[in-house]
Amino acid sequence: MWWTERVCKVGRKPKPRKISLKMLIERFIPEPVCNEGVVEISADEVEAMRLVDMLGMTYANAGKKMNISKSTIARLVKNARKKLIKGVVEGIEIHIRK
């Protein structure tokens, strides 16, 4: 288990997020590559999507597990799904940012 630190220049200091998944994969490359460019998905977004979509947790339970609010989990999952489907449909390389 590890924590991610984010830097925020305005407002309150962000809470560290708990990520229990060890990232083994750093990128997916479509075959054939249809479009130039890269879609970046953060480790936070992957963890949120794993907890909600793969393990079937509610946003509230996933938020408790990651030490963040359920509305933040919902935003992370929404953004991750949007990025993932863009990479798959448009044939763009997907990078997982640690």
- List phi, psi (to 5°) of 95: -110, 140
DSSP 53: I
Within-domain flag for 3: no
Q: How many CA atoms lie within 13 A of 69 on its CB side?
A: 4
Contact 48, 80 (CB under 8 A): yes
More confident residue, 13 or 78: 78
Domain that holds residue 76: 21-97
CATH number of the domain that residue 88 is part of: 1.10.10
The reply to whether 8 falls in a domain is no
* 44 belongs to a structural domain: yes
Q: Is it the case that residue 2 has pLDDT exceeding 50?
A: no
Q: Are strands 38-42 and 93-97 parallel, antiparallel or unpaired?
A: parallel
Please, which pLDDT band fits residue 10 given cuts at 50, 70 and 90? low
Q: Is residue 56 part of a domain?
A: yes
Confirm whether 11 is domain-assigned: no
Please tell me the total count of domains within the chain.
Answer: 1
Q: Is residue 2 part of a domain?
A: no
